[in-house]
Structure 1
Amino acid sequence: MGYMADNLTKEQRSKTMAKIKSKWTKQERTVHLCLNKKKIKHKMHPKIKGSPDLIIPEKKMAVFLHGCFWHSCKRCFVEPKSNRKYWINKINGNKKRDSKNKKVLVKNGWEVAVIWEHQIKRNLDKACCRLTK
């Protein structure tokens, strides 16, 4: 794992982090529009156990849209240099929750798919097509 320098002050970082939303992120809006364009029926932010970002009901597929930093993508994750203990605990907690949520969904008969932030950025069409197979 590499390290990422933080070029912001603690106050600037705090303001930036406070603006991060948990619903209707840029990733979610982008995938939602792509699925609509492809006429793939889906529901965003469904209220089901396991809390996926979206579901495709006719395929009984639950989909998570993971940010590469927040969910520790093996391909893109760069460990922060500042406040390392906090971030490692936070990200490990996210990964533990991800695993628990996936198990709950599978137990309830859902197929689970994960689309990573870098996949959306690199080839949105391909990422969305994965959900139709």
Structure 2
Amino acid sequence: MPEAVPSSPAVSARMSRQASKDTAAELAVRRLLHAAGLRYRVEFPVPGMARRRIDVAFTSVKVAVLIDGCFWHGCPEHATQPKANAEWWRQKLDRNMARDKETTEHLEAQGWVVLRFWEHMPADEVATTVRAAVDRERLRRTAPQHGGRKEQAEDG
């Protein structure tokens, strides 16, 4: 990829200040999950993938929550295309989206339920969806397995 040159010192400074973790969207969702009594790991390493993290991980039930920034991850509603260094940015953002897809596929292959949300989604909706998924996985993992047969109760 060609070397990118910042279009201005102000742009360079602004981009370097962008949070990569503990964003406002992540914090809002985590507060709601914690208030609902759920406990989780933050910035959990993706098993088997160096330098990749799960924003909120429920390790006991293998539920991974990723909250993606609209600009950095290509939100279909809010993503923008920088005009300065356009080709460099297009390649960078395309690589981010390919990495997201690869990470999701890797986690799912390891038995994780992967939930991805955009940063613009309401935190209460995200938290409700996450809570339902965690509850569903807890039930699924604790329910007795009957080998695919349904047992019928006998009247006595």
**TM-score bin, normalised by smaller chain:** 0.7 to 0.9
- Report the RMSD for the aligned CA atoms in angstroms: 1.5
Alignment partner of 1:41 is 2:39: yes
Q: Is the 8 A contact 2:29 2:124 kept in 1?
A: no
Alignment partner of 1:91 is 2:89: no
Deviations along 1:26-66, one digit per CA (max 9) or x if unpaired, are: 22222211211111221111123252211123432111110
* 1:117 positional shift: 0.8
Alignment counterpart, residue 60 of structure 1, candidates 54, 59, 62: 62
Larger radius of gyration: 2
Mind listing any 5+ residue stretches in structure 2 that lack a counterpart? 1-6, 133-156
Residue 14 of structure 1 corresponds to 12
Q: Is the 8 A contact 2:82 2:89 kept in 1?
A: yes
Scaled by the length of structure 1, what TM-score is found?
A: 0.83
Residue 4 of structure 1 corresponds to none
Alignment partner of 1:82 is 2:84: yes
Give identity over the alignment, percent: 28
Q: Is the 8 A contact 2:40 2:58 kept in 1?
A: yes
Letter in 2 for 1:30: A
Deviates more, 1:24-33 or 1:103-112: 24-33
**How far apart are the structure 2 equivalents of 1:46 and 1:52?**
5
> How many residues are treated as equivalent by the alignment?
122
* 1:23 positional shift: 2.2
Scaled by the length of structure 2, what TM-score is found?
A: 0.72
Letter in 2 for 1:59: V
**How far apart are the structure 2 equivalents of 1:32 and 1:131?**
10
**How far apart are the structure 1 equivalents of 2:93 and 2:46?**
23
